[in-house]
Amino acid sequence: MKRFTKIVLFMALIGLLPTGCMNDMMTEEVVSHPDYIGFTSTTTRAAVADLSTLKRDGFSVYATSGSGPTAWYSDGVNTLNTLNGANNYKYNANQWDFERPVMWPSDASRYPMNFYAHYPSSPNGLAVTGNFLPGMSVEGVYTVKEVGSQVDLLAAKATAPSRPSSGRLTLSFNHILSKVNFGIIAGKGTQPIIQSLQLVNIGDTRIYDFVAEEWTPFMNGNASYYYFGAPGGGTKLPTFETTGTANENTAKSIYPAGHDKHLILMPQTAPSWSPQKGVAPTATSGAYISVIYRMSTGHGTNGNGDPHEVGFPVASQHPDYNANGGGLTGPLFVKAGFPLPATAGLFTWEKGNSHLYNIVLGAHGSSNGYILDE
């Protein structure tokens, strides 16, 4: 498909040994008494989360005890010491510790101890539950919220077969969502002006299995997320402009380097929209990219087979020109749809991976999208 270039950038996931750039590593040692539970926590620098936010917010910890656990672990000193996600692990006075310190069990039958954690401590949309029956499960139902409240969700799992002599256990956090960004490739001599860019019909609710460290197959939702130019408050939408160069393979990022505007979305394998001439997509048509833009010059067709650009550089080419008494001037903004690149009709976002979609406009062979609204 010539309409897109797709780049998949793998975000490093940290195990017991570093797997990413050393500059991206974050390691924080715990200063605690060996009789009390503590962690050495590692993670990569995330899209939003970094060491400063980890220190500021802490993270939630859940624990079970013994080969046949019947409840969340409690050291028996105080019910508030139960590791059920409410006793957050935080950074205070230059050291990490639980808000209420929790002792390791002294009884060997209380091992192994299994720990499950997530950052942030209380992400909007996450609810963790434990099932202590045979075939025990620890699961979190998560719904990706609006762009302004999206988080880079991290999760960790560790097992202590016995009490560590130092009192510390390594928790290795993994990114469990997918990061999505967009760029624009402009054909030679063209000048696309982007007013908004939105992902449509994206799954947003799924269950994370903390024991298997995987998302379960079930997924729900057909949400939409603005990447650029979200309307609201009656303010004028911004525009993003790019001018084509001799190299039509060079993409221009919509946001500057180091930005925090990424979409942090649900990993999924889901249907991509398959355009049909004259048929508008619906909530069940599959995922696509919606772009409102105009283009002053360029090549390509409007996706319906007519030899004109989507941006209609000549107003008389617009289908409604005569119906409006010839009062239109160009170039005009239109809304165009682009199917997500797919294999056998399905696109895939993996947990912890980053996906960059470069939309080609005004280049030889590009369709410039399928008209959704003029």
The domain spans of the chain are: 12-175, 178-373
pTM of the model: 0.80
What amino acid is encoded at 211 in this protein? Answer: V
Question: Do the Cβ atoms of 244 and 186 come closer than 8 Å?
Answer: yes
Rg of the chain over CA atoms, in angstroms?
25
Residue-level pLDDT at 301: 47
SS3 317: helix
Residue-level pLDDT at 252: 86
The answer on pLDDT for 160 being more than 90 is yes
Query: If pLDDT is split at 50, 70 and 90, which confidence band does 76 have?
Result: confident
Residue-level pLDDT at 142: 92
Phi (first) and psi of residue 317, to 5 degrees = -80, -15
Segment 278-316, tens digit of pLDDT: 788 999 999 999 998 887 666 554 444 333 445 554 556
Phi (first) and psi of residue 62, to 5 degrees = -120, 145
Between 318 and 260, residue with greater pLDDT = 260
Query: If pLDDT is split at 50, 70 and 90, which confidence band does 336 have?
Result: confident
Residue-level pLDDT at 193: 84
The answer on pLDDT for 6 being more than 60 is no
Residue-level pLDDT at 63: 95
Residue-level pLDDT at 199: 95
Averaged pLDDT for residues 140-152: 80
Query: Which of 8-22, 57-71, 134-148, 239-253 has the weakest average pLDDT?
Result: 8-22
Between 79 and 14, residue with greater pLDDT = 79
Q: Please state whether beta strands 178-186 and 353-361 pair in parallel, antiparallel, or not at all (unpaired).
A: parallel
The answer on pLDDT for 29 being more than 50 is no
Residue-level pLDDT at 273: 92
Question: Do the Cβ atoms of 254 and 182 come closer than 8 Å?
Answer: yes
SS3 103: strand
What amino acid is encoded at 363 in this protein? Answer: A
Segment 310-324, tens digit of pLDDT: 555 455 665 555 665
Residue-level pLDDT at 230: 79
| Nearest of 234, 200, 371, 225 to residue 292 by alpha carbon | 371
**Dist CA 211 CA 209 (whole Å):** 5
Angle in degrees, CA 309, 3, 358, rounded to 5: 110
Between 371 and 105, residue with greater pLDDT = 105
